[in-house]
Structure formats: C-alpha cells, structure tokens
C-alpha cells in the first residue's frame, strides 16, 4: 500500500463534539500515529477536547483503556444496569420506584449529575504540567453563557488550575447539571461551533485533518472560507455511530475499530464502502477480472434472478447493457460509475452476504479468495476459486 499523505508536513486535527461517538476519534488517531503523521495541534469541542488532551499528551494507551472500558456511570451519576434495561426495554428488571425517584431528582437538579465526568477529566489530565509542556497546541471550544460569546481557549497557556475547568466547560452538554466554573457559566461548544476548522486556520495552520463523528451541534465548517494554499482533509464514518450518550463499552470498542480502519482508508486511498480494499489498478484491469470471474457472479446472481433471468446472462452485452446498470442503482454507485466501481461493488455485496470478516485490509485477490472459501463452505462451488 502507498501512503497518500505527505509525512514531511505538520498537521492540525479538528475533533468534533459528539459524546460517546468520540471513541471513533481515538481509533482514527491510532492509525495516524502508526503512519507517522506529525500532529502540531488540536482544536476540539466537548468530547473532542477531552480526546485532544490525550492526543496532546501522546497517551494512546490511556485513551484506549478509557474508551474500551467506558460505562454510563463513568460520565453521569446513574446506574449502569438501569440504563441498559431501559435501552433494551427490559421492564421486568427495572426498579420503577427508584427510577421515578431518580428522574424527579434529575429534573430538580436541572440535569444529570456529572461528578463522574469531573473525575474522568481529573484522571485524563492528571498532572496539568504534562499537558502544559506538550509540544502540541490544544484549543478547547466552549460557549460562555455569562459573557454570551464563543471561546476557543488555549489550554496550554491558561491560568494555573484552569485546564480541567475549561475541558469541562467545553463538554457541558445541555442535559447535564450546570454549575459555575470560576464564577461563570459555560455551555457545550457544539451549539455554536461543533467543527472548529476556523480555530486552526486562525492560528496559521495550513494542513488540517478533520475527524467527523456527526454529533449534535452547529457545523461551522460549512460556512468557513478555506484560504488558498490551505488543505483540509476528512476522516468520516459511513455508518451511524450510535447515540451521543450511548456510553457502552461494547459499542465504543466497535466505533474505535471503525475509526482505525476508516483512517487507514484515508491514509492509503483504500476502496470500498463497507470493506477496506487495496485496489491500485485502473478500470480495464478490473473489467477483465470481472468478466474472467463471471462464473463466480453467476453463482451470486442465482439468489436474485429466476431461471429465465439466469439463462439470459450470456455474452458481455447482457451484463454491460442490462445487468450492470441495474446493479449500479442497487449499489447506489455514483452517476459516473465505471467498471472498477462495479467490480468492487459486486465483491463487497457478495462478501457482505457471505459474512466475510469486515475489519481487515484486503487486496482484491484476497477478498475473492475469502469469498471463494465461504462459497465452498456452503457447497456452492466444488473447487477452489482462484482470483
């Protein structure tokens, strides 16, 4: 695989707010770190600012440990089992009187008690000096309710003892009980600027990687003018990452894995919507492969075409003029799709149907071989299918 990013340059990271979806950002950072991408600084909102602190301290091991073991009770003063029962609609295991009492208390307090989140921030930051002495800049975006303005706080250069407060200020989600910090009230920065590309541009960054998680908030990047000569790249999920308060370790582990492989797709120019495919050759090469493997796809089409339809699949024109245009619609390929797109779409769809392992980087030949193994296991082909 060939790395597509210039490793001689320094990059800024933009980390969007999105609560529990933030696990995705740590997975993506792991891939960037492995590739040797130089990170000069981070602009983060809410969970993005907390992850940004871990990135600026270069503490991947701690970041993974936190996200792999996260629970609802690590963020809010709630009972994990109660939350899980509510999520799964398991009403038999709910203590209704206790649930009602807790609900009334949350309303009375004006939101969820986030003492656990404060403890988590304390754990993340630990010794403030480590963050202050980082070679990477960290800007945490929040909204000062008291001053009625957006702030992009330079965490490293804040007053002594202010770091934890400013990270909490950036993460003050509306559902949380809001308390004054340093005599002022703050609100989660996502409401005013959930994708703060402008913050890094204003500080002279020319190469910026945005890690999207599509949290709730205002996407200010859409109205931010990118100066000539600046380059903004995106790593983004192609599936729903779940709820912003879904602090369930099984779910966050999956999102971390997804972030890791999506970043690999970005770094190495991998193909695929679901799978991660190294496919460096041009359209004619894949057209020839597709037509040479036509028997494989006939096996695939048996589940979707009747006998008459299968009998009509003779000659290139039956595929190129009739079948492929229909499949392009089904696969939702771009309007100007080519035969490389079609071939990879067929492989992905068949691999998905056969439940081929997703989180792995495949060459085209490796993916074809895995499909062949699955078909042989189902007794649909007798001999090994060679790519």
* Same domain membership, residue 130 and residue 42: yes
Please identify which of the residues 46, 49, 134, 170 carries the catalytic annotation: 46
User: For residues 356 and 360, what is the distance between their CA atoms, to the nearest angstrom?
Assistant: 10
Query: CA–CA distance from 114 to each of 139, 200, 350 (Å)?
Result: 23, 30, 46
Residue 193 lies in a domain: yes
Q: What percent of the chain has pLDDT over 90?
A: 49
* Same domain membership, residue 141 and residue 118: yes
The tens digit of pLDDT for each residue in 19-65 reads 999 999 999 999 999 999 999 999 999 999 999 999 999 999 999 99
Name the residue with higher pLDDT: 152 or 327: 152
- List the structure tokens of 80: 């994990």
The domain boundary, picked from 268, 291, 316, lies at 268
* Same domain membership, residue 297 and residue 260: no
Q: For the ranges 49-63, 78-92, 129-143, 328-342, which has the lowest average pLDDT?
A: 78-92
Mean pLDDT across 286-315? 66
Instruction: Quote the number of domains for the chain.
Output: 2
Q: Taking 90 as the threshold, does the pLDDT of residue 223 lie above it? A: yes
Give the pLDDT band of residue 125 (cuts 50, 70, 90). confident
Q: Taking 50 as the threshold, does the pLDDT of residue 90 lie above it? A: no
Mean pLDDT of the chain: 84
The tens digit of pLDDT for each residue in 256-275 reads 999 999 999 999 999 999 99
The domain boundary, picked from 225, 245, 268, lies at 268
Q: Taking 70 as the threshold, does the pLDDT of residue 380 lie above it? A: no
User: For residues 204 and 231, what is the distance between their CA atoms, to the nearest angstrom?
Assistant: 12
Q: In the annotation, is 188 catalytic? A: yes
Residue 6 lies in a domain: no
Angle between helices 283-292 and 294-301 (to 10 degrees): 70
**Is residue 187 within 8 Å of 211, Cβ to Cβ?**
no
**Of 36-40, 91-95, 109-113, 130-134, where does the model show the most confidence?**
36-40
Residue 63 lies in a domain: yes
Length of the chain: 387
Please identify which of the residues 49, 165, 188, 248 carries the catalytic annotation: 188
CATH of the domain at 93: 3.40.1090.10
Query: CA–CA distance from 130 to each of 53, 56, 63, 138, 370 (Å)?
Result: 10, 9, 15, 13, 47
Give the pLDDT band of residue 123 (cuts 50, 70, 90). confident
Q: What percent of the chain has pLDDT over 70?
A: 82
* Same domain membership, residue 124 and residue 256: yes
* Same domain membership, residue 243 and residue 291: no
3-state secondary structure at position 44 = strand
* Same domain membership, residue 180 and residue 102: yes
* Same domain membership, residue 283 and residue 182: no
The domain boundary, picked from 233, 268, 303, lies at 268
Predicted local confidence at residue 304, as pLDDT: 57
Give the pLDDT band of residue 157 (cuts 50, 70, 90). confident
Residue 158, φ and ψ in degrees, nearest 5: -75, 170
Q: Taking 50 as the threshold, does the pLDDT of residue 387 lie above it? A: no
* Same domain membership, residue 189 and residue 285: no
Q: In the annotation, is 230 catalytic? A: no
* Same domain membership, residue 143 and residue 92: yes
* Same domain membership, residue 245 and residue 100: yes
* Same domain membership, residue 241 and residue 104: yes
3-state secondary structure at position 351 = helix
Taking residue 137's Cβ as centre, other Cβ atoms within 10 Å add up to 20
Predicted local confidence at residue 99, as pLDDT: 45
Predicted local confidence at residue 120, as pLDDT: 85
Residue 367 lies in a domain: yes
> Domain range spanning residue 314?
276-383
The tens digit of pLDDT for each residue in 356-371 reads 999 999 999 999 999 9
Q: For the ranges 94-98, 123-127, 288-292, which has the lowest average pLDDT?
A: 94-98
């Amino acid at each position: 695989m060939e790395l597509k990013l210039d490793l001689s340059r320094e990059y800024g990271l933009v980390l969007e707010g999105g609560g529990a979806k933030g696990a995705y950002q740590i997975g993506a950072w792991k891939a960037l770190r492995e590739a040797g991408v130089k990170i000069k600084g981070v602009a983060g909102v809410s969970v993005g600012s907390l992850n940004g602190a871990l990135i600026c301290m270069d503490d991947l091991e701690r970041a993974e440990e936190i996200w792999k073991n996260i629970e609802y009770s690590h963020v809010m003063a709630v009972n994990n089992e109660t939350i899980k029962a509510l999520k799964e609609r398991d009403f038999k295991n709910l203590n209704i009187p206790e649930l009602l009492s807790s609900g009334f208390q949350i309303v009375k307090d004006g939101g969820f008690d986030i003492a656990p989140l404060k403890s988590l921030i304390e754990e993340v930051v630990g010794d403030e000096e480590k963050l202050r002495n980082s070679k990477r800049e960290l800007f945490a975006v929040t909204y000062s309710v008291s001053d009625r303005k957006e702030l992009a706080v330079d965490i490293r250069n804040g007053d002594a003892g202010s770091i934890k407060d400013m990270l909490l200020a950036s993460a003050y989600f509306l559902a949380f009980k809001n308390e004054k910090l340093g005599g002022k009230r703050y609100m989660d920065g996502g409401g005013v600027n959930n994708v703060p590309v402008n913050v890094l541009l204003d500080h002279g960054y020319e190469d910026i990687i945005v890690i999207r998680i599509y949290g709730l908030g205002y996407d200010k990047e859409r109205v931010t003018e990118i100066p000539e000569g600046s380059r903004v790249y995106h790593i983004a999920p192609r599936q729903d990452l779940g709820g912003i308060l879904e602090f369930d370790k099984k779910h966050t582990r999956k999102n971390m894995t997804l972030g890791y492989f999506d970043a690999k797709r970005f770094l190495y120019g991998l193909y695929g919507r679901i799978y991660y495919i190294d496919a460096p050759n041009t359209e004619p090469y894949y057209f020839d492969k597709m037509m040479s493997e036509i028997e494989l796809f006939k096996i695939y089409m048996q589940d979707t075409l009747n006998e008459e339809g299968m009998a009509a699949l003779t000659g290139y024109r039956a595929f190129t003029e009739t079948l492929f245009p229909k499949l392009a619609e089904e696969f939702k390929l771009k309007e100007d799709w080519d035969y490389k797109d079609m071939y990879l779409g067929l492989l992905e769809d068949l691999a998905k149907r056969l439940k081929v392992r997703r989180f792995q980087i495949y060459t085209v030949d490796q993916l074809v071989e895995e499909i062949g193994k699955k078909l042989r296991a189902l007794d649909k082909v007798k001999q090994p299918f060679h790519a």
